[in-house]
Structure 1
Amino acid sequence: MSSAERTTGQALRGIRRRELQLVFVSALAASLIALWWSWAHSAFLLYGDAEAHMHIARRLFDSHRPGITQLGSVWLPLPHLLMVPFVAVDSWWRSGFAPAIPSMACYLLASIALYTLARKWLSPVSSCVALVLFAANPNLLYLQTTAMTEPLFLCELICSVLLLVEWYTSLDDEALHARNQRLLWTLIAVLVAAIYTRYDGWILAFLAWIAMARCVANRGRLLRTSFILASVILLLAPVGWMLYNAVVFGDWLEFMRGPYSAKAIELRTASSAIAPHPGWHNPWVSAIFFVKAAEMDAIVESWGGVLFWAALAGTVVSWVLPGRYVEAANHPLKLSSRAVWWTIFLWLPLPFYAYSVSYGSVPIFLPVWWPHGWYNTRYGMELLPALALFAGFAVQGIIGLMRSRLTRWEPFVSRAFFVALFIALGVNIAQMLHEQPLTYVEAKKNTAARSYYNTVLPVALKSLHLLDPHGVVLMDTSTFASVVPHAGLTYRQTINESDKQFYWAALGAPAEHASIILAFAGDDIDKAVKAHPQHLRIYQTFHSPFRGWDQADATIYVTDTFPSTPVTQPSTTPASR
């Protein structure tokens, strides 16, 4: 590399550094505003899954059986492990704030990575279009204040694609061999993290490895020690999860066919009175539903088709015409036109969810299509990086076309185009906020059916706990996980389903192991109380106004030696978060 090229490269890196600083500050401001909004609207734990993720993280140390076996069998472990230092702070755990910290960090890193990826080919303005579509998305801004896993996986997806581009770019330059090796190990670490975050990550890691293996094989490097070792580490990630399931649960595929698997949940919640969900055993319909969810997550519903087709056009621009309409040489290391091919991995969620909705027991319900519901609409968020980045390519293609066709008027037309475009982006954000983000509406629908028990049970249990601070509560925490923190309890003050042998022993003699028992009609505790009612009396019964498999009548029992107290009349005001 000549001195002039080094000087140019250093200048470009200086510019990029300033741009990234501005991206970081802007994303941080948006993230903090969203955090304040979620706090003000008690929105941290609206999703039942958010409650459950935080529940798993807390019981890793707050349990009669603390340790790695508390991770469960279905959800992958990394999101819960990242939360542990934060849920250890009692007030953060009880309020639901704790998971927002790692989630916000992932959002910031994803925003920086997406902009960095865009700037390898796009102008600053086109890259800003991609950034605004991604980082200013109200659905993402809400999710990054919760315990949901989408922000973490989006971060891993974008970073893996960025690292694949960097790794490929440095592959043929012997002067960059050390850098290439560092990129290889960083990439493997990100792919392992994706494997331990969502099952989408398993497909991402496998296809990325296939593509990498082909690249190194073409260069005669497939059997180099570093690549073989990296391949073994990548392979051990999913194998490790299967071995964990085999050792802890006795079935290496417990996550696929156990009682908490997606298939089991579908069977438990499905109704024989209605037809199977849209897309059932139909990949084409499933793909249509997923794309529609992605459009509604990314932009106002009436503009969704425009964005999707713009992103497809941008994909064509990036692949077919990189030298004509895309600034492929604005990077200190001149990029091969083939480097952009790695960005196709951003489209991976489309075929993955087309299959998963069809055959994987994960339906998507949308309010605009039959059966007009809100269920798993957040899955569409995984296509947001592709829609954002390739929309930026489409904008760059339009600018390139104007430069070639409107030589005289190009500066004026380009400025007018960008002004109109950013006004449209601002209108889109305002309209999405006015209509409320789809993921937030879904979360409110999700929490509505749980609101009764999440309100009345903590009040009743808290009043009993005040009478007997050392009393133990026998209860199932898998469905209404936030009852424990909102009642002022810890998991060590309960005997629950995750305590295994302690729980089984308590089912054999409830009054001998707990002074307070919470049972739902038909569950294991209810059966145990009916089989062993000695020394127990009913304290209070509850009947939910909602219908569903998780809305069975609830009964609180106390032992006959428990301090007498009048029954607490529960408030219907949602519990404070």
Structure 2
Amino acid sequence: MPAYREEANVAATVDDFLHTMVRAGIPHAVIVVDDGSDDRTGELIDRLAAVYGGRVIAVHHEQNLGYGAAVRTGIDTALRRTGFREILLTDADRQFHAEDLLALRDRKREERADAVIGYRASRADPWRRRLNAKIWTTLCKALLRVPGRDVDCAYKLIDRSLLQDLRLTGEAAAISPEMLCRISGDGARIIEHPVNHYPREHGEQTGARLSVVVKSLVSLAVVYGHMVRDAQRLGWARRLASPKDAPAALVTLAACVASVLAYLYFADHGYLLAYPDANSHLLIARRVVDSPTAGLAQLGGVWLPLPHLLTAPLATWEALYLNGFAGALVSMASYAVAVRCLFLHARSLAGHWAAGLTAAGLFALNPNVLYLQATAMTELLLFACAVAAIHHLHEWCARERLRDLSLASAAVLAATLTRYEGWILCVVALAVVAYAALRRHRRYSHTEGSVLVFGFIAGAGVLGWMAWNLAIFGDALNWKSGEYADSALWVAEGEANVGSLGTAARTYGFAALHNLGIATAALGLAGLVVYAVQRRLRSRWLTPYAMLVFAPFFVWALVTGERPLHVEEVMGGLYNVRFGLIMLIPAAVFAGYLVGVLVKRLPAAGGRAAAGVLAASAVAGATVAVGGAIVLDEAVAFRGSGAEADNAAVAAWLRDHHDGGTTLMMSFENESVTFESQMPTGSLVYEGSYRMWEEALADPSGAGVEWIYMRATPGGEDDVWEALWGTDALEDHYELVYDEGDRLVFRAEDGADA
């Protein structure tokens, strides 16, 4: 028991423990450490030691050294001067009673635990101390990962063996979390048990003093440093400083640097939000956390949810939402993951680091990739999931480790919740698993087991999304046939690709070529030929072919009119040209394989330098041959259209005049205006506001709508115009305050500008 200025409590506390132990028949000793008290505490414990010879041990600090020092002295005394197997740490302030010790001993014996730490089921302290304790516990658990919900509870029953040779340095309140951290680090079994806590009747609590709080925080930081030094905490930092796979770590670090530099470049040129779809993704994420009907239902049922769920936490910060970084960070992290996995995958295929470096470099330095990874678009997240999936699937095919199969299925699951291309990946990956398992074991039972393990996880996203659409919209296929999912909304009547296989193949071929560049495409094609000749369709080497399926998939989508894609050579313009970028993944992998094969044929002398030169030359030459970011050209060209100029003008007007009042505005095809006007999403009633939307369309004034925006483009009028134009509900209560370029803004008459 540490004791400081406890003359009113120490005798009663000691007597309580002595009498309780006697009644229970437990051999015992009570050690009280007087920490330089300037009252009668020291005198009283000396008197108790004289009365109860051998059962009470009095220890004195000549001056006040603090709680941590008193605890260390008490433990040292218990170890040196007693032989008891169990040691209880408690305080002398009478806020804990001895009867709880009996319960702790019983629980410790039943659970065969090495230590039982108490927690105050109902803390008898003022609310300020309870609040401080919660903050302190949260901080300690975050830094030291200590067990228990009440780290500074002064009631701990610990085996002597755990305290033997224990070196503690913590001061003030830091001594307790340090002790828990150290004794839990060697696999000791530590459990919790509730104890009673009583109000302090006498004396003064010193734990809430500012000086003690500061001392505790400083000491906790020092303890944390010691834990890192002793290799008990911060393992990720040590692994980062000394990674097991140094080449992969260097590639990942280089990718992170390239990602940040690219982001800063495109931010400086104002291109981060050039794609209108980037605005839409940010709006969805923001509405999840801030809209009149905020919640997961704002995810909708057309665009898949994972990118928006990952963006939503950052979108709560308005600045990160408005500048696009909330979504860009997801893309940037995905870029680093994709680069790392490409390096690992190509290196594994070719058995040489130069192959991995080539594949990673061709992907990482592609201008189209560098641009998209700096935006809130969803392609990079899909690419990261796809590359991770094919890498781990290949590792499973080669080594048949369940861990790789599980990681591959998880990556495919994430892909299916990111973009619909992930659904195709899921089908192809499942076929690879079935084929590889059947070829390896030639037994149906093994094949069935592998397919079920993989398919249960990988296919959960597809089934989950259908279930979501069924629950929210009453139609499991709403994602394909719903009001805002019909392909006719994007594919114009009479489009050249529809129904023409040759035109569609030519269109997609040009799109892929513009994204990859002629050199990367050529290297990838040559690598594919070499790979096919050397590996053929052996089950162990089957996975890299999986990514090739996206070329026929997109051609089919163009032929059937499911998706539009325009290139200058066929349509005279650009639209969705980024669909061709996914072919960069197999091109980079096979190009890397080709370089790996060539490197192995180099003479051993100077081989490492020659391999590096070959890989760097291939990457540099192929990157230069790309000739710029065609995906950025598309976005910039779209932003320069007359319709977007009208959107920019009304958005600028709204930024200057909108007062934050409730606004009725359709979101579909008005995303640029909604986002760039910077109107609070919490005040926007739109088609995703469900009943509020219907009520506002029927009677905007009665629904409290102050502002109304509508698009009146002939043949392209939005639902607000269709519902309200020319009606009494609009003309009787609202005044037209903006009318330019078929964009109309109305304001309630009592607040309209003169």
- Deviation of residue 145 (structure 1)? 0.8
Say whether 1:339 aligns with 2:540. Answer: yes
Q: Which moved more, 1:118-127 or 1:494-503?
A: 118-127
In structure 2, distance between residues paired with 1:146 and 1:396: 33
Cα deviation, 1:267-302, whole Å, max 9, x if unaligned, reads 5xx25xxx422x322334323322321221112xxx
Cα deviation, 1:179-232, whole Å, max 9, x if unaligned, reads x22222222211111111122211211221122133334524447767535433
Task: Report the CA distance shift for 1:475/1:50 in structure 2 as closer, same or farther (over 3 A).
Answer: same
Question: Which residue of structure 1 lines up, in the alignment, with residue 498 of structure 2?
Answer: 280
> Which consecutive unaligned segments of at least 5 residues does structure 1 have?
1-13, 172-179, 324-335, 544-552, 566-577
Question: Which residue of structure 1 lines up, in the alignment, with residue 380 of structure 2?
Answer: 151
Query: Are the counterparts in 2 of residues 122 and 396 from structure 1 also a CA contact under 8 Å?
Result: yes
Q: Of 621, 629, 633, which aligns to 1:437?
A: 629
Q: Of 713, 726, 729, which aligns to 1:530?
A: 726
Q: Which moved more, 1:129-138 or 1:412-421?
A: 412-421
SS class of match (1:190)? helix
- Deviation of residue 417 (structure 1)? 9.2
Q: Of 278, 286, 303, which aligns to 1:75?
A: 303
In structure 2, distance between residues paired with 1:42 and 1:262: 32
SS class of match (2:289)? coil
Task: Report the CA distance shift for 1:119/1:413 in structure 2 as closer, same or farther (over 3 A).
Answer: closer
- Deviation of residue 442 (structure 1)? 0.8
Matched AA of 1:314: G
Say whether 1:495 aligns with 2:685. Answer: yes
Question: Which residue of structure 2 lines up, in the alignment, with residue 195 of structure 1?
Answer: 416
Query: Are the counterparts in 1 of residues 393 and 408 from structure 2 also a CA contact under 8 Å?
Result: yes
Question: Which residue of structure 2 lines up, in the alignment, with residue 562 of structure 1?
Answer: 751
Query: Are the counterparts in 2 of residues 93 and 485 from structure 1 also a CA contact under 8 Å?
Result: no
Q: Of 195, 203, 207, which aligns to 2:428?
A: 207
SS class of match (1:60)? helix
In structure 2, distance between residues paired with 1:541 and 1:311: 53
Q: Of 473, 476, 486, which aligns to 1:252?
A: 476
Q: Of 572, 586, 603, which aligns to 1:372?
A: 572
- Deviation of residue 424 (structure 1)? 6.1
Question: Normalising to structure 1: TM-score of the pair?
Answer: 0.80
Whose radius of gyration is greater, 1 or 2?
2
Say whether 1:90 aligns with 2:286. Answer: no
Query: Are the counterparts in 1 of residues 469 and 479 from structure 2 also a CA contact under 8 Å?
Result: yes
Question: Which residue of structure 1 lines up, in the alignment, with residue 328 of structure 2?
Answer: 100
In structure 2, distance between residues paired with 1:358 and 1:250: 30
Cα deviation, 1:444-490, whole Å, max 9, x if unaligned, reads 11222354244222332233334xx4x21111122232434443422
Say whether 1:295 aligns with 2:513. Answer: yes
Q: Which moved more, 1:53-62 or 1:111-120?
A: 53-62
- Deviation of residue 491 (structure 1)? 1.5
In structure 2, distance between residues paired with 1:313 and 1:429: 17
In structure 1, distance between residues paired with 2:386 and 2:684: 39
Within 5 A, what are the aligned runs for 1:354-369?
354-367=555-568, 369=569
Within 5 A, what are the aligned runs for 1:14-413?
17-120=245-348, 121-171=350-400, 180-217=401-438, 219=441, 220=443, 221-222=445-446, 228=452, 230-266=454-490, 270=492, 275-277=494-496, 279-299=497-517, 304=518, 306-321=519-534, 338-367=539-568, 369-399=569-599
Q: Of 505, 513, 528, which aligns to 2:695?
A: 505
- Deviation of residue 382 (structure 1)? 0.5
SS class of match (1:142)? helix
In structure 2, distance between residues paired with 1:307 and 1:114: 15
Question: Which residue of structure 1 lines up, in the alignment, with residue 200 of structure 2?
Answer: none
In structure 1, distance between residues paired with 2:572 and 2:719: 34
Question: Which residue of structure 2 lines up, in the alignment, with residue 6 of structure 1?
Answer: none
> Which consecutive unaligned segments of at least 5 residues does structure 2 have?
1-241
Query: Are the counterparts in 1 of residues 386 and 415 from structure 2 also a CA contact under 8 Å?
Result: yes
Task: Report the CA distance shift for 1:258/1:18 in structure 2 as closer, same or farther (over 3 A).
Answer: same
Question: Which residue of structure 2 lines up, in the alignment, with residue 3 of structure 1?
Answer: none
Task: Report the CA distance shift for 1:419/1:376 in structure 2 as closer, same or farther (over 3 A).
Answer: same
- Deviation of residue 510 (structure 1)? 2.1
Question: Which residue of structure 1 lines up, in the alignment, with residue 662 of structure 2?
Answer: 472
Matched AA of 1:81: L
Q: Of 705, 708, 732, which aligns to 1:517?
A: 708
Task: Report the CA distance shift for 1:418/1:20 in structure 2 as closer, same or farther (over 3 A).
Answer: closer
SS class of match (1:74)? coil
Query: Are the counterparts in 1 of residues 357 and 615 from structure 2 also a CA contact under 8 Å?
Result: no
Cα deviation, 1:391-450, whole Å, max 9, x if unaligned, reads 1222334455x65xxx7xx96999779747744643554565xx5311110111122235
Query: Are the counterparts in 1 of residues 410 and 457 from structure 2 also a CA contact under 8 Å?
Result: no
Q: Which moved more, 1:448-457 or 1:339-348?
A: 448-457
In structure 1, distance between residues paired with 2:486 and 2:590: 32
Matched AA of 1:516: W
Task: Report the CA distance shift for 1:563/1:365 in structure 2 as closer, same or farther (over 3 A).
Answer: closer
Aligned residues: 500
Within 5 A, what are the aligned runs for 1:544-559?
553-559=742-748
SS class of match (1:281)? coil
Cα deviation, 1:487-517, whole Å, max 9, x if unaligned, reads 3422121211211211111111123331111
SS class of match (2:737)? strand
Question: Normalising to structure 2: TM-score of the pair?
Answer: 0.62
SS class of match (1:370)? helix
In structure 2, distance between residues paired with 1:422 and 1:386: 19
- Deviation of residue 19 (structure 1)? 0.5
In structure 2, distance between residues paired with 1:436 and 1:319: 31
Matched AA of 2:512: A
Query: Are the counterparts in 2 of residues 31 and 104 from structure 1 also a CA contact under 8 Å?
Result: yes
Percent identical residues:
28
- Deviation of residue 540 (structure 1)? 1.6
